[in-house]
Chains A and B, each alone.
Chain A
């Protein structure tokens, strides 16, 4: 047999030949003792090579985790704040600062603003005017900022209202009052327009360094169940056996199944809750106005997603998780955590996948372990039943 043939034997051993060649080699090996012996040799070499001990000086593995820990630099993920957040923040900042500067200048000068800046149609100065001006140039992200917050940074009403660019005729008192009611009423399509192409989903598709690809299905079907490595894995699992998941599996008192909460109900309930939160937030200090506006927008986008398939439910679950993790103390974090669990529940119930169930139970357990910031423990317990 030629060297080329022997090379094929080696690849045959790995199940890495095209199907026809696989069967051809199998037939040949069955009829050729020489090749059968060679194949057996290769297999024995592999087995022996895999079994060779790889050893380290004693104490090495006891010390390494601690040594590694000291080398870990703090990692605050850049992905938690996607690029458009900064764009939105910058737009809002501009919108806030510009009128302030303008109004200061005009009050200093004590003279009418130049005519080109004063369209005849401009309404008389009102309390609302500054806020409207701020919203308009920044488009949707800035509009999303609660009016109450904007008023905190708006110029005092006593200052003469600076002129408004002619283009800014959009904000009406209608919209203004809509804004005051909260943002659940904001048109969903407006959110969609302003929202850039899913930053989170894009991140997910980034292949990790050295990411694994699944082997070809053919190869999979030919291999036998794992031995040595699954032992390792089992041992590894044992080492950390008492981590969260056990708690998740704790039986809940009242078994009550899938009908606990439909997704639609969850969404309605959640958006109601969001409004309450928003009122409270609006009264809070406006330090994070920019970030909040972007976060609000992203949150509303997430609430508007309507998955059709299990995969989409999973994707939404992970997007929500990232959103919550991105600002763990943020205004929507608790709602997002709850929603992660609910969406995870739906992913599990609609796909019946044990892995989804595990994720759901883990998320639920982690939520129940949280402190006072977890305001929906009852609902999570309901889902667990």
Chain B
């Protein structure tokens, strides 16, 4: 198998349309910012929801992240990718939120989900429905700080240094939390992953 299969978002290049919108928003145009929200809401909400695991909290975090982005748009340099920036604001808010008592392990209610934030991924090829729900549960049982690091790494694909900066922890802590999260998930998933890993291997050779 090949490691490093996930690139970093930080290399994203801002499209001309996007920076045009941002330039307009920087001049105070709310409709341009509305467009920006439309472009990034799924991604921002996805990060927030995966960390806080409750829709109403994820909604709060998402709105607050966009509001803060709006307020500090002046400091945003055109040409930089906007997505990672706003997602990191959201991740930071989400983590601070899950640190607060209100958000203790509310968990995702079953079947509330109707709008997917991402396209159907390769999960079907990797895990069956049962495996997916086991994974979902295992994610919910991770300590929040491990979950946040895992989400930033595997969903947002940030580097250790970026995760460390976003969450205000050291890169060494990022490394160990990520490892622990992977260990726990691997343990929970081992009956399913064995087959999946075999399939991966078979597919790769």
Contacts and interface: CB of A to CB of B under 8 A. Distances in A.
Given A7-B175, A208-B77, A232-B118, 14 more contacts: A16-B175, A45-B182, A48-B193, A49-B135, A49-B154, A53-B117, A203-B74, A210-B89, A212-B80, A223-B5, A226-B12, A228-B118, A229-B157, A236-B40
B26 interface: yes
Given A6-B183, A210-B166, A41 B190 contact: yes
A116 interface: no
B205 interface: no
Interface string B167-205: 000010001101100110110011001001100110000
Contacts of A45: 182, 185-186, 189, 193
A123 B175 CA distance: 78
A248 B16 CA distance: 10
Contacts of A207: 75
A129 B45 CA distance: 66
Contacts of B55: 56-57, 60
B101 interface: no
Contacts of B8: 215, 219-220, 223
Contact of A240 (B39, B122, B175, B182): B39
B99 interface: no
A42 B79 contact: no
Nearest to B58: A56
Contacts of B17: 237, 240-241, 243-245
Contacts of B3: 12-15, 39, 43
Interface in A38-55: 38-55
A75 interface: yes
A333 to B, nearest CB: 12
A240 B50 CA distance: 27
Interface of A: 6-7, 10-16, 36-61, 64-69, 71-79, 203-204, 206-216, 219-220, 222-226, 228-229, 231-233, 236-237, 239-241, 243-245, 248, 318, 321, 325, 328, 355, 358-359, 361-362, 366
Contact of B18 (A36, A67, A240): A240
B186 to A, nearest CB: 5
Q: Which of A207, A224, A233: most chain B CB closer than 10 A?
A: A233
A85 to B, nearest CB: 16
A229 B114 contact: no
B190 to A, nearest CB: 7
A40 B197 contact: yes
The 8 A-B residue pairs whose C-beta atoms are closest, nearest first, are A51-B121, A55-B113, A51-B123, A245-B16, A210-B88, A58-B114, A223-B7, A10-B179
A189 to B, nearest CB: 31
B41 A54 contact: no
Given A229-B157, A233-B15, A325-B26, A209 B4 contact: no
B70 A75 contact: yes
17 contacts: A10-B179, A11-B160, A40-B197, A47-B122, A49-B150, A51-B126, A52-B132, A56-B115, A57-B114, A61-B45, A69-B30, A209-B72, A220-B8, A232-B43, A236-B18, A239-B38, A321-B23
A52 to B, nearest CB: 6
Contact of B75 (A43, A74, A206, A248): A206
A56 B116 CA distance: 7
B92 to A, nearest CB: 6
B161 A64 contact: no
A243 B19 CA distance: 11
B34 interface: yes
Contacts of B165: 210, 213
Nearest to B2: A224
A56 B162 contact: no
A2 B181 CA distance: 17
A222 B4 contact: yes
B153 A14 contact: yes
Interface in B21-45: 21, 23, 26-28, 30-31, 33-35, 37-43, 45
B68 interface: yes
B39 A47 contact: no
